[in-house]
Amino acid sequence: MHSFLMTLDCPDGVGLLARITDFVASQGGSFTEVNQFTDKISNWFLARFAFEMERETSLAEIRNAFVPVARELNASWSFREATKPVRTVLLVSKEDHCLADLLWRWRSGELNIEIPLVISNHTDLRSVLEKEGIPFMHIPIPQEESAKENAFRQVSDAVCEVSGELTVLCRYMQILPDWYCAEHHNRIINIHHSLLPAFAGADPYKRAYDRGVKLIGATCHYATGELDAGPIIHQEVLDVEHFHTPVDLRRIGRDCERLALARGVRLHVEDRVVVHQSRAIVFGN
């Protein structure tokens, strides 16, 4: 059996699902999972399909066969082999809790990814990656604007050189330039230390403590040119008690960050996220 994943979004219309079902049947495929959603406000259809083929079929063959259907539906779409790992580049700074969690999930086979490279603007985590046998690249990010631009061009080139399909910011404490986000559109996942947009910026847990918050959360989202404004993939939240100190809040926050990022990455690599305008439609499992 050959397993494929398909995502699709297009203007809503009569018989859309039947048209796609007919296509898969014509190729000798059978569905193993079907997810669909129609946004009634924008009159837009979004879907994810998993299907199997008994006959020997290449990804290129399936894609080429679907082109006339996609034109007919005016659809944006993608096909991917379900079992093929997604080549994922990790960007880190000094904090290691999100990195350590993703590495554990990668080693255990929980995440269907391969990690060809980790890039950092510091060298603090080099030894962690060397122990894992994962290539590590140190690219400092200078303060001077023209030098900073060149550094981010090095980062982008490095991702492309290893054929990175996804970039994950594991508490990477740098703001990506607009052009970088545009070149890797909806292929950069970030973890934010709160339920956006509250308490953005420096030392959020101290300010949360000062405000007496009752919940702490984390937001996993796609990075865009507008800071912390990309489509939200997943959010986690935990209760906070009056006796929790700022240290406790940081601990609870790190737990939220780890889980939100891991779940967001898993949803992406399983093609369970379809972005429409500023929203990420997530087909859970």
The catalytic residues are 228
Using DSSP, state whether 3 is helix, strand or coil. strand
Task: Give residue 52's region: left, alpha or beta (phi > 0; psi -120 to 50).
Answer: beta
Question: What span, in angstroms and rounded, lies between the C-alpha atoms of 170 and 96?
Answer: 8
For residues 121 and 266, what is the distance between their CA atoms, to the nearest angstrom? 25
DSSP 3-state helix, strand, coil percentages of the chain (rounded to 5)?
A: 35, 30, 35
> Where would I find the H helices in 109-203?
126-132, 145-161, 178-183
Would you list the DSSP string of 41-104? Answer: TTTEEEEEEEEEESS---HHHHHHHHHHHHHHHT-EEEEEETTSPEEEEEEE-S--HHHHHHHH
- Alpha-carbon distance values, 53 to 18, 44, 57 (Å): 18, 28, 7
Tokens matching residue 280: 């990420």
